[in-house]
Amino acid sequence: MISTESLSKRFPRVTALDRLSVDIGPGVTGLVGANGAGKSTLIKILLGLSPATEGRADVLGLDVATEGAAIRERVGYMPEHDCLPPDVSATEFVVHMARMSGLPPTAARERTADTLRHVGLYEERYRPIGGYSTGMKQRVKLAQALVHDPQLVFLDEPTNGLDPVGRDDMLGLIRRVHTDFGISVLVTSHLLGELERTCDHVVVIDGGKLLRSSSTTDFTQTTTTLAVEVTDTDEHPDGTRALRDALHARGVTTDAGGGLPGAGHTLLLTAEGEETYDLVRDLVADLGLGLVRMEQRRHHIAEVFRPDQTQQREGTDRRHQGTDSERKEAVHHGG
């Protein structure tokens, strides 16, 4: 779908992309990097809107330097920032954008109705966009990127500003864009955790350089961190401690979750696979505790890759620290 060859983009003071060579196939691909890693610059170049300083790139087999217009006819783009006028309805706006993509008036209206329905906007699509929630606005932005039935869409930080439920909805929708609509997706995020569940393939860039490009199964094996919270009972006045001791007895290291609100009541542990979940479940049941929650923690890309790169290369401890990026807490190594 996309291939770049030692693609570089230099601005007078910054090098946004540094000899990036990557091949991206069909399916859902995550493009992960911290802010300023060069994600948006890459998308701009791939849309044929900004010339590369050196190197070349192909999108759908078309050269970005010379066939930008043909590329833009076949791809969709959802920007990171707000881009919706508040005083028109979603329907009017998306119809207009469909026509800007070259769809005849009748087709533009039909495709708009279809697409808005697929992204989950129903009666509210006739109301002005100004009154929409963030989640609904994100859906409209997605709809305008899909309305002309592109072969490939670029989604720039589609989960930005969404609450956890909205985030999951959006990720599910992105998954469907590929499985149900047959459209390949390149989605950017600075959160690796949310992409590893949605994408078939993840490309990590940092400072304009390719850090890693691999299928997501590689990631999930090593990076899943579980957060477990249990209740206290009469038998075990401190249920968390009881569970921790039991886990230690089985050779599983845990982490108390440092400066978290409610620290000491949450256990963080690395899930090695299915058996870890079963083990936690069984231990909790044996102790007679109530399981309040057991959830996967999201990783912040900067924390996952920068400190652990060296560790992985040396083949040492491959355990990762789980952090919830929203809380930005520092978690110390347990065990």
Q: By CB under 8 A, tell whether 51 contacts other proteins.
A: no
Which is nearer to other proteins, 138 or 240 (by Cβ)? Answer: 138
**DSSP letters of 23-92?**
EE-SSEEEEE--TTSSHHHHHHHHTTSS--SEEEEEETTEETTT-HHHHHHHEEEE-SS----TTSBHHH
| Among the residue ranges 20-28, 103-111, 213-221, 227-235, the one whose residues contact other proteins (CB under 8 A) | 103-111
| Among the residue ranges 57-65, 69-77, 263-271, 292-300, the one whose residues contact other proteins (CB under 8 A) | 69-77
Q: 79: closest CA among 141, 131, 22, 20?
A: 141
Q: By CB under 8 A, tell whether 107 contacts other proteins.
A: yes
Minimum CB separation from other proteins for residue 138, in Å?
A: 14
**Tell me, what DSSP letter sits at residue 278?**
H
Q: By CB under 8 A, tell whether 97 contacts other proteins.
A: yes
- Per CB under 8 A, the list member of 25, 85, 164, 264 interacting with other proteins is 85
Minimum CB separation from other proteins for residue 286, in Å?
A: 46
C-alpha neighbours within 13 Å on the C-beta side of residue 281: 7
Minimum CB separation from other proteins for residue 306, in Å?
A: 28
Identify the residue whose tokens are 């083949």.
315
Q: By CB under 8 A, tell whether 65 contacts other proteins.
A: no
- Per CB under 8 A, the list member of 1, 4, 37, 44 interacting with other proteins is 44
Q: For the beta carbon of residue 235, count every other beta carbon within 10 angstroms.
A: 10
What type of residue is 293? Answer: R
Identify the residue whose tokens are 């070259």.
102
**Tell me, what DSSP letter sits at residue 125?**
G
| Among the residue ranges 101-109, 119-127, 239-247, 306-314, the one whose residues contact other proteins (CB under 8 A) | 101-109
User: Per CB under 8 A, which of residues 19..38 are in contact with other proteins?
Assistant: none
Q: By CB under 8 A, tell whether 99 contacts other proteins.
A: yes
The separation between the first and the last C-alpha atoms of the chain, rounded to the nearest angstrom, is 44
The 3-state DSSP class for residue 116 equals: helix
Structure tokens at 184: 């390949």
User: Per CB under 8 A, which of residues 161..180 are in contact with other proteins?
Assistant: 180
Which is nearer to other proteins, 1 or 75 (by Cβ)? Answer: 75
Q: How far apart (Å, rounded) are the C-alpha atoms in residues 146 and 112?
A: 9
Q: Is 292 left (phi over 0), alpha (psi -120 to 50) or beta?
A: alpha
Binding site for other proteins (CB under 8 A): 40, 44, 47, 49-50, 69, 72-73, 75-77, 79, 81-88, 92, 96-97, 99-104, 107, 111, 114, 118, 128, 144, 148-149, 180-182
